[in-house]
Structure 1
Amino acid sequence: MKNLTGLMKQAQEIQARMGEMQERVAALEVEGTSGAGLVTVTLRGKGELKGVKIDPSLMVADEVEILEDLLVAAHADAKARLDDKLQEEMKSVTGGMPLPPGFSL
């Protein structure tokens, strides 16, 4: 019976840490860049797009496709950085234990 009580207590602690982590994730912001910093995209912790910065030198009508590609690349970079941060946060909550399949934030 002591083991069950210990497991319940541990589950409650993890649940409390998950709530704290979700608050930190909501406040998290990451930037992704492309084109050697010519395009910067900022994402919030839940994946929402917060901002886009474009170097004025890219504002050339004939090069719209390049700008579009750089925006996509900057977003992908920001998303990868966000995913890394989320994994770090999750490890801090679970103590490095792997999550069950299908579990997400």
Structure 2
Amino acid sequence: MTDFSKILEKAKELEAKMKESQEKIKSIRVEGVSGSNSVKVTLDGEGEMQKIELSDEILKEDKSILEDLIVAAHNNAKSQLKSKTTEEISKATGGLGIPGFKWPL
């Protein structure tokens, strides 16, 4: 029975660490860029776009180019966010992979 109580204790510890990690993830901000920094997109830890910045020069470009640069900046930010959230989860789990767990980004 001792082993089972140790497992429960570890599970509670992991749960507390994951809650703390989730709070830290919410506070993350990442900035994705494209077009030589002419388009910048800021995402929060939940993947919500918080800000978009467009340089005056890029506004002179064709609409389709601007659209592509916005998508590229968003994808760049999303990639950074995925790395940071994965890193934060690894800290919480002590590097233990949780089988079947994939962060929803």
Q: TM-score, normalised by structure 1?
A: 0.93
Q: Quick one: distance in 1 between partners of 2:102 and 2:74?
A: 24
Equivalent in the alignment of 2:42: 42
Unpaired segments of 5 or more residues in structure 1? none
Q: Quick one: distance in 2 between partners of 1:99 and 1:49?
A: 28
Runs of 4+ in 1 over 2 A off after TM superposition: 102-105
Residue 103 and residue 4 in structure 1: after superposition, are their counterparts in 2 closer, same or farther (change >3 A)? Answer: farther
Residue 103 and residue 40 in structure 1: after superposition, are their counterparts in 2 closer, same or farther (change >3 A)? Answer: closer
Q: What secondary structure does 1:56 align onto? A: coil
Q: TM-score, normalised by structure 2?
A: 0.93
Shift, 1:76, TM fit: 0.2
Q: Counterpart of 2:56 in structure 1: which amino acid?
A: P
Shift, 1:43, TM fit: 0.2
Shift, 1:104, TM fit: 3.6
Q: CA RMSD in A?
A: 1.3
Q: What secondary structure does 1:9 align onto? A: helix
Q: What secondary structure does 2:53 align onto? A: strand
Unpaired segments of 5 or more residues in structure 2? none
Q: Percent identity?
A: 38
1:5-20 mapped onto 2 (5 Å cutoff): 5-20=5-20
Shift, 1:102, TM fit: 4.6
Residue 81 (str. 1) matches residue 80 (str. 2) = yes
Equivalent in the alignment of 2:22: 22
